[in-house]
Amino acid sequence: MNQVLKTIQERSSIRSYKDIPLTQEELDLLKNAVLAAPTARNLQGLRYYFITDRSILKQIDQRVMHHAGDEMRARMKERGSESFFYDAPLGVIITAGEQRWPGEDAGIAVGILSIAAQSMGLGSVILGIPGMAFQEDDPENCGKLLGFAEGEKFRIAIAIGHPATEKEPHEKNFDLIKEF
């Protein structure tokens, strides 16, 4: 089987990581992978915040928890984590301004990061919840913490690290595909 297709089939969302930092080589490979992601009309309007500083990830977690409801808190407790990045050694925040198709571009980029991580023997989980820490109407939002530019907005995030658990990929539902 083609190695890329095999990697895609093997990937699943990992929500538990070993306390092992990523090497500079691993970080560089991930940065090069995401910079290879295509963007609409090659506008390259995305920004990628590679965060390995656990104190910054913790501040983002705290701001998310500030906005989280009881249901979300209970779900995190069930998962055995107080971190929305699941204590991964790397959190990547992807942002964009108000260009065309920022969500689509961010989705492509995070998909590439997840497959690149899998191909390197790392685990990942794609995250939308950290966006709560970047709410524009929150005067304490974490955009200031990361130095967002004017008009720059959270689009999506991903946690990446050495998996501390295994998880089977989700079952495929071929009813979701319509052929004409």
Is residue 180, in this structure, part of any structural domain at all? no
Is residue 139, in this structure, part of any structural domain at all? yes
Q: Report the CATH number that the domain containing residue 89 is assigned in CATH.
A: 3.40.109.10
Number of domains in the chain: 1
Residue 125's pLDDT is 97
Residue 93's pLDDT is 98
Is residue 176, in this structure, part of any structural domain at all? no
Is residue 30, in this structure, part of any structural domain at all? yes
Residue with tokens 């995305």, as numbered in its chain: 46
Residue 45's pLDDT is 86
Is residue 116, in this structure, part of any structural domain at all? yes
Residue 141's pLDDT is 95
Q: What is the mean pLDDT of residues 5-15?
A: 94
- pTM of structure: 0.94
Residue 145's pLDDT is 96
pLDDT tens, 22-63?
999 999 999 999 999 998 887 788 999 999 999 999 999 999
pLDDT tens, 71-125?
988 888 888 888 999 999 999 999 999 888 889 999 999 999 999 999 999 999 9
Residue 79's pLDDT is 86
Is residue 61, in this structure, part of any structural domain at all? yes
* Secondary structure percentages of the chain, helix, strand, coil, to 5: 45, 15, 40
Residue 15's pLDDT is 94
Beta-carbon contacts of 51 under 8 Å, excluding residues fewer than 6 positions away, are 57, 60, 90, 91, 92, 93, 146
Q: What is the mean pLDDT of residues 3-10?
A: 93
The whole-angstrom separation of Cα 108 and Cα 88 is 21
pLDDT tens, 110-157?
999 999 999 999 999 999 999 999 999 999 999 999 999 999 999 999
Is residue 49, in this structure, part of any structural domain at all? yes
Is residue 174, in this structure, part of any structural domain at all? no
Give the pLDDT band (50/70/90) at residue 2: very high
Find the domain containing 55 and state its range: 8-165
